[in-house]
Amino acid sequence: MSGTSQAVFEGAVDLGSLEFREPWAARLFGVTLAMSERGLFTMKDFQHSLIAAVGDFEKASCIRDEEEYYTRWLEALSVLLKSRGIMKDEMLSATEERVVERLLGLQHERHHHHEHSPGRPDVIAPLVVA
């Protein structure tokens, strides 16, 4: 587990100082914290799930980059949500399909904008957790 993640679980990190290479990892991190703050699970529960997901992955390979780490984070969150009955398999599949469609749409938009507007920064819509 990364030192930053451990500090988050211990409540010893300034969340405003965190940096993510990929916007989806930042959103996943934020969603996890928001769900914990709403009482759906504790960060300690999530930490145990993340340790299991990382351990399972590292039986075959080591985590080489942030993408692989946050993919394990997503797996851990999915397992935790399913085990608590918060998200059913069919809901998870439908959500995953929507995310994939959105990512494909964003890739298309980026490609289109970069051809015509190479100086335009990527824009990420805000995430709202009710």
Q: pLDDT class for 120, splitting at 50, 70, 90?
A: very low
Name the residue among 91, 56, 61 with its Cα closest to residue 72.
Answer: 56
Q: Which two tokens stand for residue 119?
A: 């100086």
Say if residues 25 and 70 touch (Cβ distance below 8 Å). yes
Structure pTM?
A: 0.64
pLDDT band of residue 13 (cuts 50, 70, 90) is: low
Q: Among 56-70, 71-85, 92-106, whose mean pLDDT is lowest?
A: 92-106
| Separation of alpha carbons 15 and 8, rounded Å | 8
pLDDT at 123: 47
